[in-house]
Amino acid sequence: MANQEKFYLTTSIAYTNSAPHIGFALELIQADVIARYNRLLSKDVWFLTGTDEHGSKIERKAKEEGKNTIEFCDEISSQFKALKEALNLSTDDFIRTTDQKRHWPTVQAIWKILQESGKIEKKAYQGLYCVGCEAFITAKDLVEGKCPLHNKEPETVEEENYFFKLSEYQEPLKKILENNEIKIIPESRRNEMLNFIKEGLEDVSCSRDSKVLSWGVPVPDDESQTIYVWFEALINYVSALGYLTADDEKFKKYWPANFHFIGKDITRFHTLLWPAMLLGLGIELPKNVFVHGYITVGGKKMSKSLGNVVDPFELVQKYGTDLVRYFLLREISPTEDGDFTYEKLTERYNADLANGIGNLLARVVTLANKIFNSKFLISNQFLNPNFKTKTENIKKEYSKFLD
């Protein structure tokens, strides 16, 4: 098995400001299908997921609930980890950004390389900061003065921060996306990023004043600064593999990533900022970024204030893992927004699993029992050549659509 083809795929790492919902469950299940399919093709698959646990939002949330911040993160992270069993996932690894032994050493080593090569520099900055996004945003991103994702006015922040020179990578990133060196799925997301590049890339803040943000990875040799949440969170894809540590065998074996599975709201980070960081480090780029849409509930965005957040654990407990997996893959578009209702789930179960596939399975098993007297024989012999042709064609179609 020495020449076995390697296949590395990741989901985004879930933000631990709240419990899991079905939007992240969709991402996990989509990635799991591809992981299982590539194992069927006899590839050496490594499948990573995890949790993003730093930032102002998490620190504030923990205080609101009267909890120590790390205890709050432990609690939420354990819920995301429990999705493996609940959703029957084949994940191989789970990374946490609060892991000071696995994650932090790679983050700080990468910071030093980029700083020493002049890709990171310190300067004064005034900008709009959305706590919900844990990101600086521009005035053109706002809708009626508010962040369109969180419907809140951003804070005006004036600080001396470190900046990553994203602007230097404008032309290289344009060529990379135009030439599909990183293939973005669907094509519409690639076009969005190319249009964004055309507007001009600006340098991005990659740290915060530690008096404002103490909950995060410290900037090496500068206690006054904490590394920007998104900057260090992206590094999980290589820190989990031991990049720039003594234990880097997995990195040598599995990098570059074959697929990053992400939601559409973080496309910019994964297709512009992350590749630029990798270019600065001089290491290979991921091959594909697969972008899914949002799940709405009854036509409305999931929101705690609306009380329509769907808990995947409750869903599995009530309907079973297989139905939840089947529904999310069958009913929700892989790359566009899709709507969830309990009525749709019940309809899909009755139409497909009970009356369709379930009925077919019951008939086949009944017939097989009659013919073989409950002694099942697995055979490659086909009495009807037309049946053999049909099954081979179906296998080709199956592979084509999964590819």
Assigned token pair, 253: 């074996």
pLDDT of residue 370: 82
pLDDT higher than 80, residue 232: yes
Question: Residue for token digits 């009530």?
Answer: 318
* Tokens linked to 355: 């009356």
Q: pLDDT band at 374, cuts 50/70/90?
A: low
Give the pLDDT confidence score for residue 305 in this predicted structure: 66
**30 pLDDT exceeds 60?**
yes
Could you state, in order of their start, the residue ranges of all structural domains in the chain?
342-403
Q: List alpha helices for 82-186, DSSP H.
A: 83-86, 104-116, 170-178
Residues 6+ apart with CB under 8 A from 362: none
- Whether 276 shows a pLDDT value over 90: the answer reads yes
Residues 76, 81, 83, 84, Cα dihedral to 10°: 180
Q: What pLDDT is recorded for position 155?
A: 81
CB 234 within 8 A of CB 274: yes
**Contact yes or no for 299/306 (Cβ under 8 A):** no
Calculate mean pLDDT across residues 288-294: 96
Residue 166 φ then ψ, to 5° = -65, -30
Cis ω for the linkage preceding 256 (within 30 of 0)? yes
Whole-number pLDDT of residue 293: 93
- List b or e across 23-43, with b for residues whose CB sees 16 or more CB atoms inside 10 angstroms: bbbbbbbbbbebbebbeeeeb
Q: Are 49 and 91 contacting, i.e. CB atoms less than 8 angstroms apart? A: yes
pTM of the model: 0.89
pLDDT at 130: 79
What confidence tens digit (pLDDT) does each residue in 159-190 have? 789 999 999 999 999 999 999 999 999 999 99
